[in-house]
A and B are shown apart, each in its own frame.
Chain A
């Protein structure tokens, strides 16, 4: 893939551009919604909350509460989830040297879905006797367990030479197995299908500051580790053998990246459900814009991923008001045509 000449801004421009895009997305995300203050009062209201700045926005207390307790956590969570999924997707693509893999490759999604289904089917989700909400916990644990199974199976049967291919295949197997179990449970409990379904399609509508606080530590650790690996992902681009002859410890790098990406993905999935397509579309677009070096791709996917999901979350609020269009539907709806365009231009520019 050789990027279009027309698309190429000088490379150093992309980081500021990405920051501006995130800023705009954030502002739009905060301004638009069915309830809360009128859009032109939002910037003032936001400014008012900055230290040493006092602006009278004219918003009522209720409107202010809607903004700060409903809309803002949602925007912030969308940003975090989008950034994490995109970063994990780009890292997976690097570590498996396959541009078409996404962060759900090794079974996070299947495992998390199964975990969530078990909780919903057994009715634990509704009980308030638990100290913490069991749904995200089950999804988190399910996702991690699934990847653990994939990794154990994949490295047990694969020689070191074929391990990345075996790992991917093991991921496919584990995902199908988890999905089969999940479908089986749903078949026997058709009354909760709707509930499970809405979780699978992703939801940011119920986001609270609690959710943000819940995922933030995992996301910070995970993205820190992934961003630190950006140079090594470039080394891995020449293949396992050559990377090894250049002194890179390929197996260890792959394991570390997989663990970090899985941890972050499982954490965000547990609060947001399975939002598809972000992890594959955003890294591709970034690659098209700013070149193929992971040193540039990884930081930029964080910014563009955040912006993409914040924006993708907006139509869901207003399209079918008062009901919500699930964000997974919106990302796929925006993402699929976009992806086709990306693939087309990729075909047009490669040799």
Chain B
């Protein structure tokens, strides 16, 4: 169990600023979901914690700065699942999940038997045995998404960053993938930070939401507080109605701006 803190994190690409002094602490085992319109800085923020962009400020894991760690040590702490992962068509599923062991293998080393057994367990845990020897090019979107999560799991990092984990999935597989992440989180005590577009799902699975707009964090808190029709209309420029179910679920439904005839 590890905590992840962002202290005054700013990310910019050349002159365009993606994130402006973001501050937040994600507690051990907590699921923070970043929401906000396209280009709000959600991915950049995740990429800063994954060490993929240069940033100012600091990202701390359990209080110690990530950028002082070696690349392999960082990868053993933080697993990043990108929005559209590169999945070579001719790589087998097992080989793909095995890549998650890279942080534990020396520069010139090879994976040990323990690494392979660990990968085998991960594959079994996610019910991926039938695909283990299949090339990635033959797998469906849902199976691929589970494999990417399997790779992150093989990385054994206490912090998992998910960038749009459900973007390419149908509603059933969206639920499946998020349930999987949530059950793994409860099993292993992962700290999860995800960026998501589906506000209802975001509210349903995460403990807390942070709404980003043009690089600034404009609202943060539980779904009931953040998902308000006025807030969403202000920052997304969208017309929605927000319903509160009896079990506390917040449902965000888009409305037609032109009244239906």
Q: Which residues of A are at the interface with B, using a C-beta cutoff of 8 A?
A: 1-3, 228, 231-232, 234-235, 237-239, 241-242, 244-249, 287, 291-293, 350-351
Contacts and interface: CB of A to CB of B under 8 A. Distances in A.
Contact of B102 (A228, A246, A351): A246
Contacts of B17: none
B85 A242 contact: yes
Given A2-B90, A237-B91, A247-B76, A242 B71 contact: no
Interface residues of B, number: 38
Contacts of B52: 241, 244-245
A242 B86 contact: yes
Interface SS, A side = loop
Given A2-B135, A228-B108, A248 B90 contact: no
A246 B86 contact: no
Contacts of A1: 89-90
A242 B91 contact: no
B110 interface: yes
B102 A247 contact: yes
Given A2-B137, A2-B138, A238-B85, A245 B51 contact: yes
A241 B155 CA distance: 16
Given A244-B52, A245-B50, A246-B155, A2 B89 contact: yes
Contacts of B89: 1-2, 350-351
Contacts of B73: 247
16 contacts: A2-B137, A3-B90, A232-B107, A237-B88, A237-B91, A241-B52, A244-B51, A245-B52, A245-B82, A247-B74, A247-B76, A249-B71, A287-B90, A293-B95, A351-B89, A351-B137
B253 interface: no
A330 to B, nearest CB: 30
Given A238-B86, A245-B50, 9 more contacts: A2-B89, A246-B100, A246-B155, A291-B92, A292-B91, A293-B91, A293-B92, A350-B137, A351-B137
A292 B137 CA distance: 12
Contacts of A249: 71
Nearest to B135: A2
B125 interface: no
Given A2-B135, A234-B95, A248 B102 contact: yes
Residue from A234, A247, A248, A249 having most chain B Cβ neighbours under 10 A: A247
B187 to A, nearest CB: 22
B232 interface: no
